[in-house]
Amino acid sequence: MKKVIVIVGPTAVGKSDFAIELAKKINGEIISGDSIQVYQGLDIGSGKVTQEEMDGVPHHLIDIYTTKQSYTVADFQSKARELIDQSEKPMIICGGTGLYIKACLYDYQFSDESGAGIDIDLENYTNEELYQQLLELDPKQSEKIHPNNRQRLLRSLTIARRSPKVQSEMIADQQHRMLYDARITGCTMPREQLYARINARVEKMFEAGLQKEIEKLLQQGVSFQDACMKGIGYREWEGFHEGKKSLEEVKEEIQKHSRQFAKRQYTWFNHQMDVEWFENNNSLERKAMLENLVHWYQNQE
């Protein structure tokens, strides 16, 4: 199996810096596992790595979609696997979107509907009606979905309608087998320090012109209903443009949502993946992990 290094961790923990330093040591390239950095023009709010920060290390799956396109987990799976399978260079996946990374590494299969939207007529039903339909069509899957999670209800019902098998059967058929020899490494730091970094990072986003970035996107015809604007750092601006929030309230919301997201990321990775955590702000631990990963990658069986 092909070796792949995966760098995960909460937002603002310093994954990109670590991945770039590692890539330079093994002459590798980086695949972004972020669901917003694929979009052109969404730079500041997504924390997109700059050309200067890349320091000559090639990065993939950044700036490849327009703001009106939809980027799904199935899209990431297919593009990331193609990069890994066809490249002769070491590949490092770096990102915080856990489901994307898991879908790439394991034998996750998606039905043909994955990138094809939702059955339009389903939009006419209330959440309660959608949930009742799912109870009838796929009772096992309905146990995993909150009755008010409209997007997941729509997706599961669309799969049940379009595919020979319902979603719960498709999941049961999968072996959850790892397709690569993957080393999953997690950057972490004490929670108080991480939260302080998150708050400071958002402050820097505002200083770097996040408000102007939002205004430019809106002038180009992007709306808050577009998929690209659903990410933290972007969706919080809707209330401001409706005159319901102040700039300070937007900033505080982005900081709060980012801290909450970091907490969810820890929970997800600890439950879904076998992650080797190290303290990225501890120079000795960071150096040791870098050396460990270089040694592991270079010692091919």
- Record the pTM: 0.83
Structure confidence by residue, pLDDT tens digits, 244-259: 999 999 999 999 999 9
| Six-digit token string for 265 | 């990321």
- Could you tell me whether strands 91-94 and 3-8 are parallel, antiparallel, or unpaired per DSSP bridges? parallel
Query: 137 vs 129, 141, 146, 151, 231, CA distance in Å?
Result: 12, 9, 16, 17, 31
The third-level CATH classification (topology) of the domain covering 3-109+176-298 is Rossmann fold (3.40.50)
Among 38-52, 162-176, 265-279, the range with the most confident prediction by mean pLDDT is 38-52
**E-only strand ranges, the chain:** 3-8, 29-32, 59-60, 91-94, 181-188, 276-279
Question: 133: pLDDT confidence band, cut at 50, 70 and 90?
Answer: very high
> What is the pLDDT, as a whole number, of residue 300?
65
The rounded percent of the chain whose pLDDT value lies above 90 is: 73
- How far apart CA 38 and CA 228 sit, in angstroms, is 9
Does the pLDDT value for residue 172 go beyond 80?
no
Query: CATH 3.40.50.300 spans which residues of the chain?
Result: 3-109+176-298
Among 128-137, 150-159, 194-203, 263-272, the range with the most confident prediction by mean pLDDT is 194-203
Q: How far is CA 160 from the centre of its chain?
A: 26
DSSP calls for 55-107: TT--EESSS-B-TTS---HHHHHHHHHHHHHH-SS-EEEE-S-HHHHHHHHB-
Range scoring the smallest mean pLDDT among 30-39, 124-133, 150-159, 278-287: 150-159
* Residue for token pair 């209903």: 225
Burial (CB count <10 Å: 0-12, 13-18, 19+), residue 50: exposed
> What is the pLDDT, as a whole number, of residue 235?
95
Does the pLDDT value for residue 175 go beyond 70?
no
> What is the pLDDT, as a whole number, of residue 115?
45
